[in-house]
Structure 1
């Protein structure tokens, strides 16, 4: 490369840094710069918030985000409802289930447009399990009872006429605990996502019955696009702290833009060790299995929201009977503002 060429590249890089800094300074300051985020886990559908933190996008947006990782979406939701967290990185479906109970939660940026779930039999029982109907009387591992993993299991069972009470649901977490439970024979089947699913498949400890690692597989299994992971909060928080919500959204969208062009190896390198759940090679291979699920624009669609509602209704008639305004469970304004930057 010529000296002139190097100078041009340096100038362009400096201009990009200056432009990003100017955009950040032009944005309204967050009303609540110190935030507590409750994460349902650190499986791949949640990677955009991990990347937003590790690559400094939260700090660039003027935020100091303290992240607490829980063993499932139900517990992360409880943390927010109990007042120990401001926002949740969890399943969008929680906004619908809580709406049926009269609670107003709002998803404001989508992290994953398909769940990345892999549901299958463990080594101990795969010889007995060939279909969903064979799961009757079995022990099924999920991240935590009441989580989106649990809801997904119930939906798949309902397709085979197996009722929720016909199986034993066991909370095993969504990371090391799930791996240990599958390998030790504590469970007969497991609903998981990556990298756990890739690790267990690679070691011969998980035999899939359903794979939802891409939009096509998700549509085949669930009947449509299924936005599994999102960042949501209460309606009251969103109204009281709109600049803070916008700052969170800006940081997550920046992470999604970076991930859209990064290689699996680059993504693996950007994930802090405490969130990796596997060595870098396995992590990169697992991410490559489901990277098409990661949202590229953070948007929620009306059709996707209806798919989630339909899945929930299939096993919980009370949700079907409830008067729920689906459009009130998500708000795309913040993503639309971020995409104008």
Structure 2
């Protein structure tokens, strides 16, 4: 886990150009612990919110712990060591099937930015998903959204989760090392890892979900991979805090929507970069259309995520899940009022 601390300035309001700023409610819990599933590009808005001071402007002091996958970040939330998670929206659905109430309140990325490919070690042996039977597939961590994505793609060729060996390799330097050393035959990754490995000839894509069109073609619809979520209890007890987090994330998304890849690369602290600035900028350019511009979740997108999970997990298909309870757009919709 990599701790990063954003400075605190409680009660500072964010002004709108040409208008008097509206009062900003003071967060009930200004000191927050955020568990991040990784620092791949779908999660960049929280990195930018930290590095450009948007958390500080919203009156928050945010300690960020970066984990090796979404499953571990989720464990931190459920274990009480984190207040909020920057992770996969799909976790709210999988936990709802188990009777746990989690709620996503601001979307980070409207498509996953995933690249699923074969490594150099097995490039000549794999042409289709079916050829992966019996092989080693790298994901950030078992049980992560990367793992779920792999399961879905395998199911399209009639393979079951047990037909392959899943290996947790992290989502940054560990994934790059595993692919290059021949420890895995295939890898589910996102950028900048995917661009780094493709550039060096160590990854050969089978599926690319770096933009809405590629995502719809592969997964059947819009698939909001990354979001900020918490327990429904925390959101109910700390609405001002959740609003402040939302305001900061939206400020980051609005800045990113108008920034060049080079400007985004320059705003990312070295511990999050994973690549030289020029490679980082090129990789970001490959998938920047996935970054949410408004933070909203749509009902159709939520159903796509549910359908992808249900395709390989019958428990989710059978569970009486209220999808509308897994996300709450009110904080995004209220952002302009604060």
Judge same fold: TM > 0.5, yes or no.
yes
1:21 Cα deviation after fit: 12
The alignment status of 1:273 with 2:270, answered yes or no, reads yes
CA deviations on 1:35-55 (whole Å, 9 max, x unpaired) are 000000000000000000000
Give the counterpart of 1:95 among 78, 92, 95: 92
Matched with 1:166 is 163
Corresponding residue of 2:139: 142
Q: C-alpha distance in 2, partners of 1:21/1:31?
A: 29
Partner of 1:122: 119
Could you say which structure has the larger radius of gyration? 1
CA contact (8 A) 2:171 2:189 kept: yes
**Offset of 1:338 from its aligned partner?**
1.0
Write the deviation string for residues 103-125 of structure 1: whole angstroms up to 9, x where unpaired. Answer: 00000000000000000000000
Aligned residue number for residue 185 of structure 1: 182
Q: Which runs of 5+ in 1 are unaligned?
A: 1-16
CA shift at 1:171, angstroms? 0.1
Q: Give the total of aligned pairs.
A: 326
Give, in whole Å, the separation in 2 of the partners of 1:224 and 1:275.
30
Q: Distance in 2 between matches of 1:25 and 1:46?
A: 28
1:110 matched to 2:102? The reply is: no
Deviation at 1:145, TM superposition (A): 0.1
Residue pairs, 1:1-341, within 5 angstroms: 19=16, 26-340=23-337
Distance 1:23 1:238, change over 3 A: farther
Using the size of structure 1 for normalisation, the TM-score is: 0.94
For 1:45 and 1:149, the matched residues in 2 are separated by 12
- Runs of 4+ deviating beyond 6 Å: 20-25
Q: CA deviation at 1:339?
A: 3.8
Q: Deviations over 1:160-184 (max 9, x none)?
A: 0011111000000000000000000
TM-score, normalised with respect to structure 2: 0.94
After superposition, the Cα gap between the structure-2 partners of 1:213 and 1:43, relative to the gap in structure 1 and judged at 3 Å, is same
Question: RMSD over aligned Cα, in angstroms?
Answer: 1.5
**Is the CA contact 2:15–2:21 (under 8 Å) kept in the aligned structure 1?**
no
Which stretches in structure 2 are left out of the alignment for 5+ residues? 1-13
